[in-house]
Amino acid sequence: MNGALVALIRRDLQLAYRRRGEMVTPLMFFIMVTALFPLGLDPEPMLLRTLAPGVIWVAALLAGLVGLESLFKSDYEDGSLELMVLCPVPLELVGLVRVLTHWLITGLPLVILAPLMGMLLSFPSSAMGTLLIGLLLGTPILSLLGAVGAALTVGLRRSGMLLPLLILPLAVPVLIFGARSAAMAVAGDDVSGPLYLLGAMLALALTLSPFAIAGGLRVSLEN
């Protein structure tokens, strides 16, 4: 099983690397959305500073939706998903590996870019650490939730419209605790509460969502 798991991780990373052009799209989306806000609002630093946590978090949330429907699509269409069901690695783990590699390629660069976008929105550097930790804890949850939606709709031809409706309501707590922790850090408050809650939600998502992902993939493969 270990050999199969290693092969799976290598394959996912390789595939992700070969499609790196596609992987840049969410990042570009993230940069553009955050850069558009000052243009739509007033470029007044104090205003931007209060809005920055929310803007960055909402942009990260939406960037997670870009290209999400292709997460399992090619494996579903060429039949490799059916082989993965049969392989010795449980499908739950297959899904988890896929989500984590997807997060490494799209989520992690987004987290690294976030301080830069924070600077554009005059987000104070004293609170940057909280923003980074919050995004590091929060974006994997968003990837896991997104993967549940992608697994449930992989059998549909046009799932692009449906996915946001399925995922965004579920992502509300992540947005609230993430953006609020960054805003509290700007105000100089103690941020351990919301960050612990984000950590707890990450633990919950890591343990439960693989079952939902595998269940969704099995349902999609049945018809």
CA gap 105, 94 in Å, rounded: 17
CA gap 174, 64 in Å, rounded: 13
Question: Binding-site residue total for another protein (CB under 8 A)?
Answer: 28
Provide, rounded to whole angstroms, the least separation between the CB of residue 164 and another protein.
Answer: 9
Structure tokens at 57: 């978090």
Residues 95-114 that bind another protein (CB under 8 A): none
Nearer to another protein, 115 or 164 (CB): 164
Nearer to another protein, 43 or 82 (CB): 82
- State which H helix or E strand residue 185 sits in: helix 172-187
Asked if 168 is part of the footprint of another protein (rule: CB under 8 A), the reply reads yes
Residue 39's closest CA among 120, 111, 108?
A: 120
CA gap 210, 199 in Å, rounded: 17
Residue 86, number of CB atoms within 10 A of its CB = 7
Applying CB under 8 A, the span of 46-54, 56-64, 111-119, 204-212 interacting with another protein comes to 204-212
Asked if 152 is part of the footprint of another protein (rule: CB under 8 A), the reply reads yes
| Cβ–Cβ under 8 Å, residues 210 and 93 | yes
Structure tokens at 60: 């990260």
Q: Angle, to 10 degrees, between the axis of helix 45-63 and the axis of helix 20-40? A: 150
Structure tokens at 186: 């700007």
Provide, rounded to whole angstroms, the least separation between the CB of residue 165 and another protein.
Answer: 5
Asked if 90 is part of the footprint of another protein (rule: CB under 8 A), the reply reads no
Asked if 215 is part of the footprint of another protein (rule: CB under 8 A), the reply reads yes
Applying CB under 8 A, the span of 5-13, 15-23, 74-82, 150-158 interacting with another protein comes to 150-158
Nearer to another protein, 59 or 179 (CB): 179
- Which string of x and - marks every residue 179-198 that binds another protein (by CB under 8 A)? -x----------------x-
- In the set 38, 53, 107, 216, which binds another protein (CB under 8 A)? 216
CA gap 140, 217 in Å, rounded: 20
Asked if 173 is part of the footprint of another protein (rule: CB under 8 A), the reply reads yes
Residue 175's closest CA among 59, 28, 65, 69?
A: 59
**Contact positions vs another protein (CB under 8 A):** 148, 152-153, 155-156, 162, 165-166, 168-170, 172-173, 176-177, 180, 197, 201, 204, 208-209, 212, 215-216, 219-220, 222-223
